[in-house]
Structure 1
Amino acid sequence: MTEREKMLLGENYDPSDDELVRLRLNARLLTETLNQTSVSFSEKRVEIIKSLFGSTGNNIHIESTFNCDYGLNIHVGENFHANFGCVILDVAEVRIGDNCFIGPQVGIYTATHPIDPIQRKSGIESGKPVTIGNNCWIGGHATINPGVTLGENVVVASGAVVTKSFASNLVIGGNPARVLKVIEPS
């Protein structure tokens, strides 16, 4: 099994593997190009995002700066918007539904490291996928941790640290995030 296959299966993998280094470099070059492309060239920016991500809807918008590990493991639906300073560490899949809005300085992380210091020192890593349902809004400076699934119509309050999964139709916030309110869609 390749290191990339291990990575995508959530197993321990070696990030110094030649293929993974090459894929990360490609993502860095594409995000560098995206971040240096003027907002007046919106079609070019969309083209770059589509070549970076694994899949997208047609209507997508990302403010610069944006950073990710691979890009290929990020899948977003229609009407996706990420505000300034978004970071998505996509060593595992990140799936974001339709009509989702990501506030400024949001971090979505799939990457994780061993708790044991000897294993961590070896350089191995692993990842857990993140899934965000349709019609979600992630407030500024929120953090979505590895392995989290958010249902549909979830609002994550600014500054929240989401360490576990939540069902649909909720406002969540705090550190660690907890249910603040149930949403009754009209």
Structure 2
Amino acid sequence: MVAGDWYRYRAGPELAEMTIATQRTCRRITALFDEDRDAAQALFVDMLGTAGDVLDFRPPLYLDYGSRLHVGADTFINADFLTLGGGEITIGRNVLIGPSARLYTPIHALDIDERRAGYERVLPIHIGDDVRLGGNVVVCPGVTIGAGSVIGAGSVVTRDVPPGVIAVGNPARVVRTLEPGEQAEPGEAAPED
């Protein structure tokens, strides 16, 4: 799985046990969030592959493999966030993820016999710095979203999105380039809300 090769997810219990453990931690984070936000934050950060400073989120969260998710500093993840599959997911700095966002890394074999046998592989997802994902956005396996881009609510991102654009729809298409005043310069800090 980690190498990006085809594998049989249902062939052994190891991967299922890993996802069950991660999902159990996600449920603990959700239950703990209202009572002890700092403890919930610490559990979330510990579960991730890497986490930048000032990572903010709202539960519930649904992750298959927390160690495969890398989140940059000053990023906000809204409620009902789901990452599926064991592909590496990298989210940059100062990213805003709207509610009910879905990041899918697995692809399944097209051949019917291979599908029945449970073959799949995973492709990475890369979300650049200063990206904004609207609510209910779906990002498909292997996609890169360039720095500073905005993905409109309800969009399904099936292919790479260049930096500094607005993309919307199903499948998501670039509708325009952001003007210089609408995006941060490289290395520029985000304005305070």
TM-score, normalised relative to structure 1: 0.92
Aligned length: 180
SS in 1 for 2:7: coil
Shift of 1:123: 1.1
Equivalent position to 2:102, from 102, 107, 120:
107
Q: CA RMSD in A?
A: 1.2
22-31 vs 37-46, greater mean Cα deviation: 37-46
Equivalent position to 1:146, from 136, 141, 144:
141
Alignment of 1:57-96 (within 5 A): 57-96=52-91
Shift of 1:36: 1.1
Query: For 1:66 and 1:74, how far apart are their aligned partners in 2?
Result: 12
The code of the aligned residue for 1:28 comes to Q
Query: For 1:133 and 1:124, how far apart are their aligned partners in 2?
Result: 30
SS in 2 for 1:126: strand
Residue by residue over 1:22-61, the C-alpha shift from the partner in whole angstroms, topping out at 9 and shown as x without a partner, is: 3212201111101111334221111111111100012112
Query: For 1:63 and 1:13, how far apart are their aligned partners in 2?
Result: 33
Aligned match of 1:4: none
Instruction: Answer yes or no: is the 8 Å Cα contact 1:112–1:146 preserved in 2.
Output: yes
Residue by residue over 1:103-155, the C-alpha shift from the partner in whole angstroms, topping out at 9 and shown as x without a partner, is: 01110111111122211110121110000000000000110000000110010
Alignment of 1:1-186 (within 5 A): 7-16=1-10, 17-186=12-181
Query: For 1:147 and 1:80, how far apart are their aligned partners in 2?
Result: 21
% identity of equivalent residues: 29
TM-score, normalised relative to structure 2: 0.89
Which segments of 5 or more consecutive residues in structure 2 lack a partner in the other structure? 182-193
Shift of 1:68: 1.0
